[in-house]
Amino acid sequence: MLRSLAKPTGEILAGICVAAGLFGIAPAGADTLTDALASAYWTNPDINVARAQTRIADENLPIAKSALRPNISGSGSITGTTRDAFPGGAGNNDSVDGAVGLTVSQNLFRGFRTKNARLEADASIQASRQSLLSTVQNVLFDAAQAYMNVLRDQALLELRRTNVRFLNEQLKAAQDRFDVGENTRTDVAQTRARLSGAQSNVSLAEANLKSSRAVYRQVIGKEPGKLARGFSFKRLLPASLARALDTGQARHPAILAAIYNADAAAFAVKQVEGELLPTVSVEGRADHTFGIDSSDYANSASITGRVSVPLYQGGAVSARVRQAKETHGLRQIEVDVRRAQVRAAVVSSWGQLDAAKASIIAASAQVEASRIALNGVQEEQRVGQRTTLDVLDAQEELVNARANLVVAQRDSIVASFALLSSAGLLSVENLNLPVARHDPVAHYEAVKDKWFGLRTPDGR
């Protein structure tokens, strides 16, 4: 799956820094975003599945090479024979004979099928590695999003709880004023209604936080503890939309995987076409026969050369050639599809980051203006120029403005990761995560030339 992303010019980067600062100061001993990404890299099951798929693909190469390796088989048999004697003869003529043999067969020419099978296996292996990198990108993006969602929902929950505390104070003040005849029952009812709504919002915020924590556990592999705020990957963001597009087209693993799959499909066509060419093989056989109850024995050996020239196979091979060519055409179309998807993702994420920057600036201004307005309304209420409803409305505007700012802060960080992902830059190496790197080449080197052995390189 492709992820979207957006624009890191000077103003946008400044907005990202502002967003990190508005989230607050990281508590001591808190898990950082980098820590969460490193944990996801080694514990996420989707990545482990993709790694297993690369190991499976590696075995295609020794399978392809086996076609030009000798096949050796042994055989053995025991035959018991009973013959009735003629009338007046000496009796039954029973015998038990045995035979053992060894056969060695070797393909010499298979219509270039072995060569093309090896090339197809190599291309498929490269495609699987790129698919692994694409999976890593998607998981790292999901991990960053899950991390920021927990931070967002924690901030929103605290904001809702603070609002409840404020409204509790307002309700007590409204009740006190009603008791001394300074306001009406309507003022008390309005405050109580706002408090009930605020308490409901707290319950919803708690549910949202639980959901975000569950997703965090699923993606990152552990429960979220204290989470630090910030975005330390600004240097990785492309400097312009054009640069982001060029980078994505050149190095996004989804595109590279599609290209390798198209190469593999081309070699698959040549493999099937090879079935229309002659096949040359040689077979050597040695046999030893002997009598179990006698000293009779015989040895024999033979060498046979075979040339098989296909003339007609009922049209099956021709159909498979056409089918393979259609598959190759499909894989080439998929390359164009992936390129279009990456381009759309880059443009979309660039716009999202640009919009998030503007939202942060607007929300920050809204928070400051709403805070000043609330203070002013409260002062005017004390001298009888404003009603309780005016204070409640001003408080609600401030709470909404702060919530908008929290959401914009989260969106800016997530959009930044989306841009890195769509440009093909969201890798362990680029992020310089403090974690041991998985090397798919190690397994490939361990199995590519194996002639025998049932155990996997890790001992299974």
* Ramachandran angles phi, psi of 385, nearest 5°: -90, -10
- Within a domain: 294: no
Give the torsion through C-alpha atoms of 311, 314, 315, 317, to 10 deg: -70
Sign of the alpha-carbon dihedral angle for 224, 228, 229, 235 = negative
- Within a domain: 104: no
- pLDDT (tens digit, 0 to 9) for every residue of the chain, 460 residues total? 444 333 333 333 333 343 334 444 445 566 889 999 999 999 999 999 999 999 999 999 999 999 889 999 999 988 877 766 555 555 566 778 889 999 999 999 999 999 999 999 999 999 999 999 999 999 999 999 999 999 999 999 999 999 999 889 888 888 888 888 777 788 889 889 989 999 999 999 999 999 999 999 999 999 998 888 878 888 889 999 999 999 999 999 999 999 999 999 999 999 999 999 999 999 999 999 888 777 778 889 999 999 999 998 889 999 999 999 999 999 999 999 999 999 999 999 999 999 999 999 999 999 999 999 989 988 888 877 888 888 888 888 999 999 999 999 999 999 999 999 999 999 999 999 898 898 898 888 888 888 888 887 887 8
Which tokens go with 142? Answer: 């999901």
User: Which CATH number does the domain housing residue 363 bear?
Assistant: 1.20.1600.10
- Within a domain: 421: yes
- Within a domain: 314: no
Q: What is the predicted pLDDT for the residue at 20? A: 39
- Within a domain: 214: yes
Question: 251-278 in b/e burial notation, b at 16+ Cβ within 10 A?
Answer: bbbbbbbbbbbbbbbbbbbbbbbbbeee
| Interacting residues of 17 by C-beta distance below 8 A, sequence separation 6+ | 231, 234
Q: What is the predicted pLDDT for the residue at 398? A: 92
The domain in which residue 220 lies consists of 10-69+126-276+331-447
- Within a domain: 297: no
Domain count, the chain: 1
Q: What is the predicted pLDDT for the residue at 273? A: 93
- Within a domain: 50: yes
- Within a domain: 86: no
Closest CA relative to residue 452, chosen from 53, 37, 62? 62
CA distance 228 to 220: 15
